[in-house]
Amino acid sequence: MSDESGSSHHDHASFAIVGLTGNIASGKSTVSEMIETLGTPVLDADVIARDVVEPGRPAYRDIVERFGNDITDREGRLDREALGDIVFDNEEARADLDAITHPRIARRMRERADQLREAGHHWILYDAALIVENDLHRGLDSLVVVAAEREIRLERLMERDGLERDEARARFDSQMPQRDKIRVADYVIDNNGSLDETRRQVERLHELFERGLQQCGTTQRDVLVEQGFELPPRDEY
């Protein structure tokens, strides 16, 4: 895995970092929880990103120095909304923020991955919304995309967040198209159906990764195909 994504390819062939991503209301978080329940550690990019900007940490000090005290709340924590407003349409400000946070996030990811490898885990899941947008999938051992048809995701989002159809559509349109993520995916979880159907796919994929690492030292799709493993299809949406 590249430095940007928070880790690097490890010396041990039997350790893999698998990325998990998906567009809004695809069910990425549900799949992440299912994989964690099966015993695989999950590194959540959002949790790590919040952790590195806690008050007192170097990234926090650098952000306040660059953007001023207006981006902190009454408790002294970062006001994410205020900071978001500043960097939303200001490329220079966003680049400054990324330069402060990304190296720290990468370092924390590497540390956690190394700790988990040393603890005896064969693979970990890196759960992040913007893996493909930030071109991080190239440094991962494999990429799993959770996908569902647009109309199903729209209905889920409207119900989950209490949105009107136009508001839900606007959120969709602000994201990279799902098909572009599927195009670079190694594995796709079809989340159009019931939770049980999704769970069965997750369990099959989990078992595939375990066997792939045990027998071939990898989760990489092309290697497993070469070795005669039966793999799930990558459906288009």
DSSP state at residue 23: -
Which two structure tokens, joined as six digits, stand for 33?
């929880």
pLDDT, tens digit, 9 for 90 and up, residues 180-208: 999 999 999 999 999 999 999 999 999 99
Contact 186, 143 (CB under 8 A): yes
Alpha-carbon gap, residue 200 to 104, rounded angstroms: 36
Q: Are strands 123-127 and 16-21 parallel, antiparallel or unpaired?
A: parallel
Q: Shortest CA distance to 129 belongs to which of 138, 137, 117?
A: 137
3-state secondary structure of 81: helix
Residues in the chain, pLDDT under 50: 1-12
Cα 209 to the center of its chain, rounded Å: 18
pLDDT, tens digit, 9 for 90 and up, residues 128-147: 998 999 888 998 999 999 99
Alpha-carbon gap, residue 237 to 223, rounded angstroms: 25
Q: Shortest CA distance to 142 belongs to which of 21, 229, 48?
A: 21
Show the domains of the chain with their CATH numbers.
1-41+122-237 (3.40.50.300), 45-120 (3.40.50.300)
Instruction: Give how far Cα 90 sits from Cα of 50, 53, 86, 94, 235, Å.
Output: 21, 20, 7, 6, 37
3-state secondary structure of 78: strand
Alpha-carbon gap, residue 34 to 48, rounded angstroms: 20
Alpha-carbon gap, residue 219 to 171, rounded angstroms: 33
Rounded to two decimals, what is the model's pTM? 0.86
Q: Shortest CA distance to 216 belongs to which of 14, 9, 16, 11?
A: 14
Instruction: Give how far Cα 24 sits from Cα of 123, 158, 194, 197, 204, Å.
Output: 25, 11, 18, 20, 24
